[in-house]
Structure 1
Amino acid sequence: MISDEELYRQYLSGDETGLEELIRKYDNPLTLYINGYLHDIHEAEDLMIEVFSYLFAKRPHIRDGGFRAYLYKAARHLALRHKSIRRHHFCLDDLTKEPEGGKLVDEVIRTKERNQILHLCMGELHPDYREALYLTYFEGMSYRQVAEVMGKSVKQITNIMYRGKERLRGLLEREGITNAES
């Protein structure tokens, strides 16, 4: 399997397939990451495209092993900047939270409820805890990569992760989920 950095260098040398592979690999995860800031999937999709546009227009030098962290750091920067200048809009989707009756099976309901509780509890966390936990557990990044994305040291990320997991465990227990793993 070709590394992200090799695909990026492939693109820089004029082969468009490198760009296509990187976009295919990161479009959904990056959109979900940005959506964590904006809470608007359509805006998150637009910003994901903007992240790639910036990256490939500017063609920055990225060290080996650093492409993913660079990409998420750029996404974080754009999302924070966008969030600070955007206006909040009313969304009809917020009113349609009812699940479809024919598809409700006990396991589906339990899973959905647990996911909603997790989402609710993650929303109550300090933003640094939430972001570090998300990048580590949902995006599979190492503490070093998370540190690079968040602009912190690995030691700070270690502390943030410890405190974030403890806080999240407490919130989940409050909501009745007692088998929360670290």
Structure 2
Amino acid sequence: MARYTAIDYMRKHSSVIQTSLDDAENISGDDNLEGDIIKSEEKRVLHRAIRKLKPEYEQALYLTYFEDFSNRETASIMKKTEKQVRDILYHARKTLKAELIKEGFVYEKL
């Protein structure tokens, strides 16, 4: 009976590809799992720090760096002048850097 149960299981799950552990090493390809996890954590820290900023700073950073709007487009959306947006972005980056350093975030390009 156990034999037939095992055969039924194998038939139902035949679409699942089985491989040895030695071959599984190569399945991931060139992707660096550890690097991906570190990048993911860095993104979470960055988003958490951005949410701590003034709403005006958060909006300007989001529109400029995540939505790829130009300063002119960001100014139009925020109903500000381009100079005001440049000033807001300058202070937002400066404040964000201080917040990230306070949280212990280390990144060469800051």
The structure whose RCO (Cα within 8 Å, separation 6+) is larger is 2
Matched, 1:171 2:77: no
Indicate the structure (1 or 2) with the bigger Cα radius of gyration. Answer: 2
1:114 maps onto 2:42 in alignment: yes
The residue that corresponds to 1:155 in the other structure is 83
Distance 1:161 1:180, change over 3 A: farther
Q: Per-residue CA shift, 1:118-165, capped at 9, x if unaligned?
A: 111011010110111111111111111100000111111111000000
Matches of 1:174 and 1:113 in 2, distance apart?
16
Show the counterpart of 1:84.
none
| 5+ residue gaps, structure 1 | 1-104
* Alignment deviations for residues 12-62 of structure 1 (CA, whole Å, 9 cap, x no partner): xxxxxxxxxxxxxxxxxxxxxxxxxxxxxxxxxxxxxxxxxxxxxxxxxxx
Conserved 8 A contact 1:169-1:180: no
Cα distance in 2 for residues equivalent to 1:156 and 1:114: 29
Counterpart in 2 of 1:130? 58
CA contact (8 A) 1:172 1:180 kept: no
Superposition RMSD on alpha carbons, in Å?
A: 1.5
The runs of 5 or more residues in structure 2 that have no matched partner are: 1-32
Q: How much has 1:106 moved relative to structure 2?
A: 2.0
Counterparts of 1:47-126 in structure 2, within 5 Å, are 105-126=33-54
Query: How high is the sequence identity, in percent, across the aligned residues?
Result: 36
Runs of 4+ in 1 over 3 A off after TM superposition: none
Aligned match of 1:143 = 71
Count of residues in correspondence between the two structures = 78
Alpha-carbon distance between aligned partners in 1 of 2:69 and 2:108, rounded to the nearest angstrom? 20
Kindly provide the amino acid, as one letter, of the partner of residue 69 in structure 2.
M
TM-score of the aligned structures, taking structure 2 as reference length: 0.65
Q: CA deviation at 1:176?
A: 2.0
